[in-house]
Amino acid sequence: MTDPAAVLNGMYRAEAEYFAAGGPGTASFAPLAPYFAEDVVLHQAGGLPFGGDWRGHSGMAEFFLAMSRTWESFEIGEQEFLALGTTSVVRTQVRARTRATGRELEFPILQALRIEDGRIAEVWPFYWDTAAIASACRS
């Protein structure tokens, strides 16, 4: 599978299944793994509860665990593929509820993703308001 749209759609489906599985430690990274290069790097904004650089499959598994610790629910809404290719850009509307406070948020994420050999090699997510997300997650 080398078509960027197929790679991204598959990954987003697997991600939705991961979050639908429930709380921390109840879902496996295994269904997501085929969509990510072995040496993938995810760059999350440092001000977020799950901020930092996450490297390789083990780092991605830890990232998804950190996300499931942060969010009670994380629903992917409308998506728009703004560019598809080696560098792809996707705008996603998210509706999420925090575990710590129960607050519900709706926010957009713009992701730039580098795809090599049919797998996601690097991800840069950009959140509209990282301070609002961080604040909502604090108990």
Please name every residue paired with 87 in a beta bridge, in sequence order, or none if there are none. 114
How would you class 133 by CB atoms within 10 Å of its CB: exposed for 0-12, middle for 13-18, buried for 19 or more? buried
pLDDT on residue 60? 96
d(CA 35, CA 30): 10
- Fold of the CATH domain 4-137: Nuclear Transport Factor 2; Chain: A, (3.10.450)
- Compute mean pLDDT per 10 residues along the chain, 139 residues long, and list them: 88 90 81 96 95 97 92 92 97 94 94 97 95 87
